[in-house]
Structure 1
Amino acid sequence: MVGGGIGGLAAARGLQLAGWSVRVLERAADLESLGAGLSLFPNAVRALGALGVELPAGRLPGPGGIRARNGRWLSRSDPAAYPERYGAPLVAVHRASLQRVLLEALVPGTVMTGARVAEVRAGDGGPLVVRHDTEELGADLVVLADGAASGTRGLVTGGRPRPVHAGYTAWRGVMEAGPGTAVADGATESWGRGERFGIVPLADGRIYWFATANAPEGGRSPDGEHAELLRRFSGWHAPVPDVLRATDPGAVLRHDVYELLPHPRSYVRGRVVLLGDAAHVMSPNLGQGACQALEDAATLGAVLLPAGADVDAGLAAYDRARRPRARRIARRSAQIGRIAQLDGRFSSAARDHVIRWTPDLLTRRQLDDVLQWDVPARLG
């Protein structure tokens, strides 16, 4: 396993459940709990269930929806109906919480940090050979889960595809909920002209927030990202300015948004397989990046059970199950991003009007395609 992020750790868990001996090679010196919040939609919660991983208990998001920058509601949603409709709830957690439970689910010693993979090659009539900083390892299967900026993706896809800048950047942060900041229980996203701000209560009581703005690739704010956010969003509806002021300026993260273009023609080449962002970098507009990585992991474990069965048939089944679905969700997320980031006065006003008058039934049907998912049948 190349990469010890959420997808890599989850895939290691799935393969260990299937009877495989797994080694995770992570180039970082330690598994820092970087990142902010994650929305785990019912499809991801079901994937975690298939992996035998339980999330820490906590509060679930209440009613929320999309608002204009002045606070007017454009659409509303209530995830209370998710368990009955999709078989699992929506759970919002800090990335560190999910990373911790995945690590605890693995066989001790599974993860090797400080291991930068330099080469993956075919052995002399035997298994694959993975060479990293200090040794060479033989492997019957190599899973590439080293993220959006994957240095190994080309082993499966060749020179293309590659991450392409989506035209906007994203900031993220987490604040401690206190008596001075009144935040609703539900997740909300507010849309302006080329800018958005989202607020998501986490299960542990903290508040995760994110913001987007149209911006050139690689841009940075000369006096700090926190100051930039206050300039952009201090005039928005409550509690947006309060959430920003209550956030530690040094804890604000900024990353440009990317999409993988064109989508890979296959996630598999021989016994080497792509998983997570290495396979399908997608914009965050559906909140499905981590969710799709967890689906990948649960699917891979399912189709490769039992260990030693027909691996090639299992990998072909993985590719058939995962690639069309991930491509469809990535495309839809990109479309939503283009609409949400409209910055013209008339185009953004027309967008808001359409959202307000879109029937709830149509919205639910579109959501069904994303959230109604089951682990595929096992082979063998």
Structure 2
Amino acid sequence: MFFLLPYRVKNPWKQFPYATVSIIGLNVLVYLFTTQYLLVINESVLNNYGCSPGATPVYTLFTSMFLHADIMHLAGNMLFLWVFGPPVEDRLGPWLYLLVYFAAGSVGTFAHAMLGASLSAKPVPVIGASGCISGVLGAYWYMYSWSKVCVAYLVWLFIVYVRAGIWEVEAAYIIGLFFLMDVLQGMLGRMAADSGGVANFAHVGGLIAGALFCLALGVKRDTEYVSEAKAMQSDIKDLSMMPLHALLTMLEEDPCNPEILRAMVRPAASLNQLDVLKKAVAAAGAELIDRDPKFVAYYLLDLRGDPRIYQSFHLLRLAGELERLGSPEQAIAIYKMIVSMYPGSADCEAALFRMAQCYWRYWRDAVSAKNCLRDLASQFPNGTMTPYGRMLWNEISAQSQH
């Protein structure tokens, strides 16, 4: 005999799983109001809101997904949802995740109605989120087949042999094992007639549905190398301590991830492979300016990155973001870069004016500000920013005399 309990996946998620947490909270709340002394479900609730094959109203297809027979039924389901749900939600997004969750649960209930009822001696009303959560498992199996899953196990043979430990295994194998166990138990008719029974074919149908929904939606699948890199990230925590090849693999999933790009600086510098970092930053494109302008400034100014990967208006936007974030020195350095690289352009004109504003606004440096305004007037005598430059010149002159 054996017992398996997955308790962790080495697959870090980026966004907080609001949908998963909401589902868990709602299931717990329903359990509090539908059980006797928080131990077992009320028989009246089971009869009125559980979904019996071919014998209950349509709405029970939905209500049954939030009912649980006892505290162990609830705890087991919610643990599986918490372990496997967040990475699935992270990739699908909350709304599509909820759609897959409830659609898979509905398919699981129909599978039980068609197969479970005919193979068991007594039909079992379907209650619990197992079909929905099996759909999440199916989606996880499809998207993250090579992801590492940590499983606590207990093996025993009467009292002669007992062994417990932790097993780290790929998701494809552990989820596949659960799938086969449900198929075998369902075929053997191990479903009781009371609320303690297990609707194995609801699990089977939900899992298959979750995987097929993701296939139909064309959801991205992680390669074995990406899964290995994520497992390493999960163990190490500090991305900068990861090897360069693992970070490059992680970039395949999110080429514009500033955390990974920042982490690449250390290993790339130690291996004298900054060209690899420069190629990665170039591949990230201008979106990186919006996601992490300070890193882009660090890359351009400290690492001497090639500014030609950006157009002039990208650099102008970068300088504006740096001002907003309280880094006027870096903003001025970017403005100077625009002036030297794109002389005579409209963005050069804007850069000269903004640079004058920076000198005056942050340091009251009238000399530097006026030098910028002189360049503005000489290079763009009829420019759109020239009138504003004269106004700023007059303001500086008036306040400098006091």
What range describes the TM-score normalised by the shorter chain of this pair?
Answer: under 0.3
Q: Which has the higher contact order (CA 8 A, sep 6+)?
A: 1
Identify, as 1 or 2, the structure richer in strand: 1
User: Structure 1-normalised TM-score?
Assistant: 0.22
User: Structure 2-normalised TM-score?
Assistant: 0.21
